[in-house]
Amino acid sequence: MINKLKLGSSARAAVAGMFMAATAACAPMAGPARPAGPASPASTAQRPNVLLILVDDLKPTLRTYGDPVAISPNLDRLASRGMQFDMAYANQAVCAPSRINLMTASRSTSSGVYDFGVNFRDYLPGAVTLPQHFMAAGYHAESMGKVYHIGHGTNGDPASWSVPHHKDKVIEYLDPASTGGVPTREEALFYEVPVKGDDAFAYARTLARGSAWEKPDVPDEAYADGRTAARAIERLRALRGKEQPFFLAVGFARPHLPFSVPKRYWDMYDPAKLPMPKFEDHPAGAPAYAGKQGGEIVAYKQIPTDVPGKRFPAELKRSLIHGYYAGVTYVDAQIGKVLDELDRSGLAKNTIVVLWGDHGYHLGDHGIWTKHTNFEQATHIPLIFAGPGIRGGNATGQLAETVDIYPTLAALAGLPLPKGPQPIDGESLVPVLRDSDARVSDYAYHAYPRPNRLGQAIRTSRYRLVRWTHERTGEKAFELYDLLQDPLETRNIAAVQPLVRDRLDKMLDQQPAPKPTRRRAD
């Protein structure tokens, strides 16, 4: 049976010795999974800074991840300086819960936070978030752009920061034709326009749909991500030379819809050469509720509301894919500016950089657009660590989860690993950052709810099992995909591979019992 691997005492001693040797030339690092305290105590001034870069809706559409079409020189450069996790996964493929997974190291099934419109502190009132953990160790922590999800009835967490969060827009239009001069649905849901009444969802349904894309000939800073990059550069300059180390979270909105991106980034791509979806059907033998139709995508005016995604006009599909890739390259350029400032200032020598996409994205595969499923395209994310003590130019096949980032950063900074009081589901990935062949886990875990049902998933290097449990009746249904033989997840083989299904099902049984979803019934 495959289980989460734990390092024995001899292995811990060996790895700790390696870490101690490394600290002679770089910032102090902690030992492997969950020691009582830092392996090498260090003064606050000696500890490394942290730059956490969050990107909304970014799947691994990057050249460094093998995408031959993507233009992503800056993130490719970051990967060349650090460790790229080729098999990293979101714990849930939706923005608000995924970011709470990151900040608490608690999976959605441990916290009970599965959706928008909730305050995570109502579920985890005493939680010590990732930046709070660093603040307690003497760090200055601040954030800008999209870090926590703010919108859809969900707010940020002021307790996580030393200074108030610097918010900017997620839904943004510059071309009057994109909105017709009136507030739009998504602007209301993200609080970009005043909301009438107490229910943003009800008010949004009364509004017009905005454009799914626009491409004016404007400077980068005309849009929020350009301004966020400029803000990050300004703050790096202000924080440089301070005795107090910093934890800086910089969140970018693109490639989230709408694909509002300066024209020059669209012009970098030949629409005829963009990859179109290869498989647009529901997987054979999978339950209907495993997939998704409509949802976020139909909030935009170019999208037909009565046509499944598979049947969108070909040119519409191509325009959406074009906009997504333009968004990737635009955000890559903004991140590049921030990385350039790190180099220029000399901060790169003592700053740990993490690049994280909050979840994957469907670009027409399975006839689905955006996210909100348990399929590979919705859950597979880019994850890169770079900085002092991390071997550069390496990639690893170690399976990783969003919740692993918190304990990994704590260990890298020489801080005690988190103990809660919230459930700590993550494992430190530091042994892998030292040796790309090291292994701390045999699987990644994620989940997604549907009305009355919870789909819990185990992703190994070869398989994904999804177990759907009806929350009232206890009835179970399974999906099993062989990602080596069937990377597009075209056929559910749970019925014909019972031994594999049962083995992975037992792994799910070993997880903590999931919290109820409290979702609306069918």
Catalytically annotated residues: 95, 149
For residue 363, the 8-state DSSP code is E
DSSP class per residue in 110-155: HH---SSS--HHHHSTT---HHHHHHHTT-EEEEEESSS--BTTB-
Partners of 455 in the β-ladder: 448, 468
Q: How far apart are CA 168 and CA 483, in angstroms?
A: 38
Comparing C-alpha atoms, which of 172, 185, 276 is closest to residue 228? 172
For residue 393, the 8-state DSSP code is S
Partners of 355 in the β-ladder: 53, 384
Burial class for 442, CB neighbours closer than 10 Å (0-12, 13-18, 19+): middle
Comparing C-alpha atoms, which of 357, 361, 315, 302 is closest to residue 335? 357
Q: How far apart are CA 456 and CA 174, in angstroms?
A: 41
Around Cβ 437, how many Cβ atoms within 10 Å?
Answer: 10
Q: How far apart are CA 380 and CA 371, in angstroms?
A: 11
Contact 339, 390 (CB under 8 A): no
DSSP class per residue in 426-486: ----HHHHH-TT--S-S-EEEEEEETTEEEEEEE-SSEEEEEEEETTT--EEEEEEETTT-
Partners of 61 in the β-ladder: none
17 CB contacts (<8 Å, ≥6 apart)?
none
For residue 272, the 8-state DSSP code is G
Q: Which residues of 448-459 are buried (b: 16+ CB within 10 A; e: fewer)?
A: bbbebbbbbbbb
Contact 381, 360 (CB under 8 A): yes
